[in-house]
Amino acid sequence: MRKKVSLTQHLIETHRLHHNIPEELRLLLEVVARACKTISNAVGKGALGDILGTTQDVNVQGEVQKKLDVLSNQILLDSNEWGGYLGAMASEEMETIHPISNDYPKGKYLLLFDPLDGSTNIDVNVSIGTIFSVLKLPEHTGIPTESDFLQPGSRQIAAGYALYGPQTLLVLTTGHGVNGFTLDREMGSWVLTHREMRIPEDTAEYAINSSNARFWYPPVQRYVREMQTGAEGPLGKNFNMRWVGSMVTDLHRILNRGGTFMYPADTRNASSQQGRIRLLYEANPMAFIVEQAGGAATNGEKRLMEIVPHALHQRVPVFIGSQNEVARITLYHTQTSSSPTE
């Protein structure tokens, strides 16, 4: 029987091979993973832990905050504050960045997270997740500012997500492939269970919120129509559709068996052409993971990870997943005048 490999062993061995995970980064990733364990525990308690339902507050995105959004955010902040490897953190749930307090030493990394992705699914016991991304703090002597975070996704040092489903999983990349770990609940440890995850280049499955179909632009209308005409249509095969409504969960399925995840801009946000997904907390980390697994990720025009962000909470249209289908929908955008812009 193959020996169990822990997250720590995997990170140390990856560093031996690629010299890309210095001790500070390993400690950072281990602490994030530990925080995800704590969140998983809270998620698992559900109504018994009094963590369902909403707070009275509205977040920076204009959404009513769920209790679990607030709790998960606090868990990630508290766990990562004191370690000495971070300069600052930024969260989808907080309007401004969170520089590390003067009580602690400062480090050279920046941590960004969506503490609880798919929050509309919290109260109905459907899988949800945490997404995170690590950047290097640009070299300067001052206190980190928002502009330090506005780096293209291609500069990410590491990215990952935790999926709180029937099992709790941690999926991680440090730029040399993608590996998945399952939480051994009895032992409290992450065990490497999904080695070198790869996304099939072709797929016959897609994920999109079709209730928005009347607002889509022509390239998306065309692509979805062609998939829906199945074997009789121009794509010559039947497609299946799945939409969980948690990006982590939909993309985890895609990472395992292929597919495309789409959240396009639409006529409701015509002036900004932005879509719904946040560039820094969701799109970039997922794009990094998906590309590392052999997939592709664009905004319909260019690689998501090449976009230079102009705001912390910027949103982008996203087309992520199996390479050949992402290439097709991206091509359709170049063939019409209504393609999204940054």
Binding site for ligand F6P (CB under 6 A): 117-118, 120, 209, 245-247, 276-277, 282
Q: Closest separation between CB of residue 63 and ligand F6P, Å?
A: 9
Look up residue 203 and give its two tokens.
């797929």
How far is it, in rounded angstroms, from Cα 70 to Cα 93?
Answer: 8
**Residues 264, 340: contact at Cβ < 8 Å?**
yes
Q: Closest separation between CB of residue 240 and ligand F6P, Å?
A: 18
How far is it, in rounded angstroms, from Cα 273 to Cα 266?
Answer: 7
Q: Closest separation between CB of residue 282 and ligand F6P, Å?
A: 6
**Residues 285, 304: contact at Cβ < 8 Å?**
no
Between the CA of residue 271 and those of 113, 220, 226, 267, 329, what are the distances in Å? 27, 18, 28, 8, 22
Q: Closest separation between CB of residue 118 and ligand F6P, Å?
A: 4
Q: Closest separation between CB of residue 302 and ligand F6P, Å?
A: 21
Residue with tokens 């997500």: 161
Nearer to ligand F6P, 37 or 276 (CB): 276
Nearer to ligand F6P, 31 or 318 (CB): 318
Nearer to ligand F6P, 118 or 258 (CB): 118
With 0-12 CB in 10 A as exposed, 13-18 as middle and 19+ as buried, what is 189?
middle
Nearer to ligand F6P, 97 or 207 (CB): 207
Nearer to ligand F6P, 109 or 132 (CB): 132
Q: Where are the alpha helices (DSSP H) in 46-121?
A: 67-81
